[in-house]
A and B are shown apart, each in its own frame.
Chain A
């Protein structure tokens, strides 16, 4: 049966990712988070710190994905597909979290959140995403 052995990747260990990213809140505060929205693809990007970066894009739940540096396992961003059509439309918590902010994002194209504001407002979202994994 050895001939029928299927080639597969070595999956990213999400428990290890959670352990490695205990400093996520601090990094978000220090490096900031850039939000961008693609209306053509209905995709929301959240990018921590410098960009662009090479990463793996791993599914957390539904249309929520995190960007992980495969070398360090540090989370460098998140991407939400079907953002308006599904995520916002069916998630009351997200509607509250993005109230007002998303209208501004649509107008501006990108928004950078930095410092304490990023720590208080954005870090909990990433930490919640990590718990979902």
Chain B
């Protein structure tokens, strides 16, 4: 994430990009993380800038966006999904409505959390919530957190068959033969198993 700077909503921004209730000329704090060598023209740069602005402003706007759900993540932070994002997804990804309760379960109690390569997003994974053709898959949610302690915004959720190639932030649970076990308990069991194997080996050597 680059430096933050003060920016102003301009004529190049459409209402859908800005969210509701913000007029042109409104001063807003935004991120400026697109370097000049990667710039793709001022217009797009500004619009890209404002996409981040609008996300950062969630929860603090005079007329907040409308949400399909609001829940709490495993660290107690509020996480929301806008109706617009949900509608765009469900019209293309048929499984979305079926998992709308499960994704809130996932956000509140994920198995594993990964850090996105780009931007302040976290990828949350939980095994075993899938059904039908999605049985034995990971239910995954991509949640955008503009600030360390702020609220999150769900960019998407879906089912997939692999864990991501991203940096692991935290592993909370593992699934052993279909049973969900806390990571600490899993480690304790491994240590206990290794100790047992070691003592059996020692006993075998002593007997010989």
Contacts and interface: CB of A to CB of B under 8 A. Distances in A.
A38 B40 contact: no
A52 B177 contact: no
B175 A56 contact: no
Contact of A42 (B38, B51, B140): B51
Contacts of B38: 89-90
Given A42-B155, A88-B40, A5 B92 contact: no
Most B-side CB within 10 Å, residue of A8, A39, A53, A106? A39
B116 interface: yes
Contacts of A85: 48, 51-52, 118-119
Contacts of A27: none
Contacts of A1: 193
B49 to A, nearest CB: 9
Contact of A52 (B91, B154, B155, B193): B91
Contacts of B175: 6-8
B16 interface: yes
Contacts of A95: 40
A40 B82 contact: yes
Contact of A4 (B44, B88, B90, B190): B190
Interface SS majority for chain B: mixed
A82 interface: yes
Contacts of B186: 4
A41 B176 contact: no
A40 B85 contact: yes
A59 B88 contact: no
Nearest to A71: B133
A8 B136 CA distance: 7
A123 B128 CA distance: 35
B117 A62 contact: yes
B124 to A, nearest CB: 14
B161 A58 contact: yes
Interface of A: 1, 3-12, 34, 36, 38-43, 45, 47, 51-59, 62-63, 65, 67, 70-71, 77, 79, 81-82, 84-86, 88-90, 92, 95, 106-107
Given A8-B127, A40-B85, A41-B82, 8 more contacts: A7-B128, A40-B84, A43-B85, A43-B155, A52-B90, A54-B132, A79-B158, A81-B142
Interface of B: 14, 16-17, 34, 38, 40, 44-45, 47-48, 51-52, 54-55, 65, 82, 84-85, 88-96, 116-119, 121, 127-128, 132-134, 136-138, 140, 142, 144, 153-156, 158-162, 164-165, 174-178, 186, 189-190, 193
10 contacts: A4-B176, A6-B175, A9-B136, A38-B85, A41-B144, A41-B153, A41-B156, A45-B88, A79-B158, A88-B40
